[in-house]
């Protein structure tokens, strides 16, 4: 078993959920998260990929400042971009297919498309029935 964790743009969540559901993997966990990568908190990268590149220079957005930076009066407020984090546990034999699918759905070619992580899972137990491992995740 493997855990796939994908951090994606907010506007890509519905399409990602629909695609995973069509593949038969509708059991997942979704969290609202904030973070920053190479774009260093630039909000324009998070906006709808259909917007023209010049849109960023016209619209002034208010990014989310780090609460630590605000509380500690740092000279420059660290900025974080809102994202969605999807976590799904699947059998080993479908990991490659699902990772490729997640990338295909979320790839815009612009900074801020996200990351996908794959981690091993040692075991799982369904609380209601006591089923273990493969039976517990399906």
pLDDT for the residue numbered 30: 97
Work out how many domains the chain is built from and give that number: 1
Paired strand residues for 83: 33
Report mean pLDDT in 10-residue bins for the chain, 138 residues: 96 96 95 81 49 48 57 63 95 96 94 94 94 88
CA-to-CA separations, 62 to 3, 4, 26, 59, 109, in angstroms, rounded: 34, 31, 34, 10, 24
- pTM comes to 0.74
pLDDT for the residue numbered 33: 93
pLDDT for the residue numbered 65: 59
Q: Is 133 left (phi over 0), alpha (psi -120 to 50) or beta?
A: left
Structural domain range at position 84 = 2-137
Task: Read off the CATH number of the domain in which 69 is found.
Answer: 3.30.70.120
């Amino acid at each position: 078993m493997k855990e796939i964790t994908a951090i994606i743009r907010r506007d890509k969540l519905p399409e990602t959920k629909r695609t995973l559901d069509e593949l038969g993997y509708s059991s997942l966990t979704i969290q609202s998260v904030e973070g920053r990568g190479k774009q260093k908190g630039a909000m324009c990268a998070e906006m709808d990929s259909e917007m023209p590149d010049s849109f960023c220079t016209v619209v002034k957005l208010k990014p989310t400042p780090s609460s630590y930076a605000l509380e500690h009066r740092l000279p420059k407020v660290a900025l974080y971009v809102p994202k969605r984090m999807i976590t799904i546990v699947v059998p080993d034999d479908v990991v490659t297919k699902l990772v490729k699918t997640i990338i295909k759905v979320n790839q815009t070619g612009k900074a801020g498309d996200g990351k996908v992580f794959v981690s091993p899972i040692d075991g799982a137990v369904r609380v209601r029935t006591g089923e273990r491992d493969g039976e517990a995740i399906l």
